[in-house]
């Protein structure tokens, strides 16, 4: 996937699309979490230190709208980037099925991490937040992006694999 | 040589990973003023185009929806103006004679409200007015229905407000009819759609009925008296057998708010009463029980206090 000419523009595009959809067009949570997806895809392609730096920058962008939970997004995405960069050594595959599973788990873990680092009085209850909302967001975001990647032929759909 | 290089890269990588982790950790424990400074800089620079897009879209949508209405109002206003021109001149002469300035009943500024829409920004509204418009921290934010929230952070031309769903939101209220007072706080449901308000500190012998309108009491530093907050819905429980608490249905549905008024700092006077501003409103209390009164010890009592 890294060799695809679309890879870097696509990741930058995901970040811009995330902010445009959620902030610019006011779609909010109805838009997929493309920021996290972009980080998860990037973290498998660069070194862990660089991934953490990217996570810091992207998290800071989201924290621009946080007042009482400032830094929660930044810390979450740095930890997520470090974890995601480790998966490169453990899981080697770039099939759509693997990407779907990887992104689903990754976005869900992002929800869990954010819930953990947010102060107790600012977060919703654990079960609805972690077992209902976060998985729905994760499946929605992952399936949207994988579908897009398959359509753009950044990843190849091969039923034999 | 390769092994040495690889080990050095690994060490460097670990160092940078640790560095960014510590930097992120430091961000969370910075003083709030510094955090607000950082977020303000981000909103004024990198995020500014996206905020501008949302504000522009919202303005365009509002204009589209209101253009027909405004045209009709303009026609009507023009017709009236012709007839009132003489009166207006006379009025201005009288005001000048008495040394008064033409002014509104209370100082306020209108603003468009947009939702940032990112994680962690729940309960926040971004308003397109700021210090240059006379807005300051703590100013009440209202809509046509009643109290929406309070200004939390002010920039030169925009500001951030908390709405009533925020855990930090609290306001002293009284009932419009019987004058029973208490504190209303935000209560977060399992899902955001379940968010509502919670009235606590009501003594057992104080009369309170479902459907009673709660307005701000004027006590405290932020809210003047008389702004509608919500309707008493049902009893939530009792504390130590001498206090009761109630669920409150808010008058302002936060998800539908797009345009607000900010009451500017000078309104914070104990003797200011904004009740007349809403006196002409027709309240619609959905699913409110009828006036019949429950009589057991855990139930609501009527406004006359008969149990």
pLDDT score recorded for residue B305: 35
Residues A66, B39: C-beta atoms closer than 8 Å: yes
Nearest CA in chain A to B50: A24
The 3-state DSSP composition of chain B as helix, strand, coil percent (nearest 5) reads 35, 25, 40
Find, among B161, B171, B170, the residue nearest to B139 by Cα.
Answer: B161
CB B120: neighbour CB atoms within 10 A?
24
**SS3 of residue A64 by DSSP:** coil
Distance, CA of A54 to CA of B184 (rounded, Å): 42
Residues near A158 by beta carbon (within 8 Å), at least 6 away in sequence? A95
Specify which residues B208 forms β-bridges with.
B301
Q: Read off the tokens for B131.
A: 């210090």
Chain B nearest-CA distance from A88, in A, is 15
Please tell me the distance from the alpha carbon of residue B115 to that of residue B129, in angstroms, as a whole number. 15
Q: How many CB atoms lie within 10 A of CB B248?
A: 25
Partner residue facing B124 (CB), from A49, A67, A82: A67
Whole-angstrom distance, CA of residue B133 vs CA of residue B108: 9
- pLDDT at residue A1, as a whole number: 59
Q: How far is CA A61 from CA A64, B99, B153, in A?
A: 5, 52, 18
Residue B156 and residue A16: Cα distance in Å, rounded? 26
pLDDT value, residue B138: 87
Residue B228 in contact with residue B164, Cβ under 8 Å? no
Considering only residues 159 to 188 of chain B, which have any Cβ-Cβ distance to chain A shorter than 8 Å?
A: 160, 162, 167-168, 188
Give the closest of B23, B57, B115 to A28, CB-based. Answer: B115
Closest by CA to A49, choosing from B203, B15, B213, B138, is B15
Residue A29 contacts B where some CB pair is shorter than 8 Å: yes
Length of chain A: 161
Instruction: Provide the residue-wise pLDDT of chain B in tens; the chain has 307 residues.
Output: 567 778 888 888 899 999 999 999 999 999 888 888 888 888 889 888 988 888 888 888 777 777 777 777 776 776 666 656 666 655 665 554 454 333 335 677 888 888 877 777 778 888 888 888 888 888 889 887 888 999 988 888 888 898 988 888 889 998 877 778 888 988 877 676 778 898 888 887 787 888 888 999 888 777 888 888 999 988 887 666 677 888 999 988 887 777 788 888 655 556 667 776 666 544 444 443 343 333 333 333 333 333 3
> Helical H runs in A64-157?
72-90, 96-117, 126, 134-151
Q: Is A72's CB within 8 Å of B57's CB?
A: no
| C-alpha–C-alpha distance, residues A99 and B234, integer Å | 49
CB A34 within 8 A of CB A14: yes
Number of H helices, E strands in chain B: 4, 12
How close does chain B come to A160, measured CA to CA in Å? 36
Residue spans of chain A under pLDDT 70? 1-4, 156-161
The reply to whether the predicted model has a pTM over 0.90 is no
| Cα Rg, chain B, nearest whole Å | 25
Which pLDDT belongs to residue B204?
77
ipTM value > 0.85: yes
Residue B129 near residue B262 (C-beta atoms within 8 A):
yes
């Amino acid at each position: 996937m890294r060799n695809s000419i679309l890879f870097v523009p696509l990741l930058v595009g995901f970040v811009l699309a995330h902010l445009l959809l959620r902030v610019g067009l006011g779609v909010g949570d109805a838009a997929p979490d493309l920021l996290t997806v972009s980080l998860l895809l990037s973290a498998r392609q660069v070194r862990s230190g660089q991934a953490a730096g990217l996570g810091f920058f992207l998290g800071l962008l989201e924290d621009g709208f946080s007042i009482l939970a400032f830094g929660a997004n930044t810390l979450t995405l740095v930890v997520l980037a470090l974890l995601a960069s480790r998966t490169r050594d453990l899981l080697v595959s770039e099939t759509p099925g693997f990407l779907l599973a990887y992104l689903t788990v990754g976005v869900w873990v992002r929800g869990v991490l954010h819930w953990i680092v947010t102060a107790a009085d600012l977060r919703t209850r654990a079960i609805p937040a972690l077992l209902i909302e976060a998985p729905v967001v994760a499946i929605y975001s992952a399936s949207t992006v994988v579908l897009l990647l398959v359509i753009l032929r950044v990843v190849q759909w091969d039923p034999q694999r | 040589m390769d092994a040495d290089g690889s080990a050095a890269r690994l060490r460097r990588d670990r160092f940078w990973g640790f560095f960014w982790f510590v930097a992120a950790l430091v961000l969370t424990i910075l003083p709030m003023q510094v955090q607000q400074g950082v977020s303000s800089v981000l909103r004024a620079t990198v995020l500014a185009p996206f905020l501008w897009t949302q504000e522009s879209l919202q303005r365009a949508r509002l204009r589209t929806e209101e253009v027909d209405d405004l045209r009709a109002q303009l026609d009507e206003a023009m017709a009236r103006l012709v007839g009132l021109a003489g009166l207006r001149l006379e009025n201005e002469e009288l005001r000048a004679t008495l040394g008064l300035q033409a002014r509104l009943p209370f100082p306020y500024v209108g603003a468009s409200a947009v939702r940032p829409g990112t994680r962690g920004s729940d309960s926040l509204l971004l308003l397109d007015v700021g210090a240059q418009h006379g807005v300051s921290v703590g100013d009440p934010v209202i809509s046509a229905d009643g109290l929406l929230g309070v200004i939390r952070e002010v920039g030169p031309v925009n500001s951030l407000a908390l709405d009533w769903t925020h855990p930090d939101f609290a306001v002293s209220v009284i009932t419009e009819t019987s004058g029973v007072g208490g504190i209303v706080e935000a209560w977060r449901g399992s899902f955001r759609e379940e968010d509502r308000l919670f009235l606590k500190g009501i003594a057992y012998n104080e009369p309170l009925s479902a459907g009673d309108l709660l307005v701000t009491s004027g006590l405290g530093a932020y809210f003047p008296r008389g702004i509608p907050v919500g309707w008493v819905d049902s009893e939530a429980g009792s504390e130590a057998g001498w206090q009761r608490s109630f669920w409150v249905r808010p008058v302002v549905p936060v998800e539908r708010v797009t345009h607000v008024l900010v009451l500017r700092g000078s309104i914070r006077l104990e003797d200011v009463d904004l009740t007349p501003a809403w006196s002409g409103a027709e309240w619609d209390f959905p699913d409110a029980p009828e006036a019949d009164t429950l009589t057991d010890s855990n139930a609501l009592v009527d406004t006359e206090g008969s149990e």
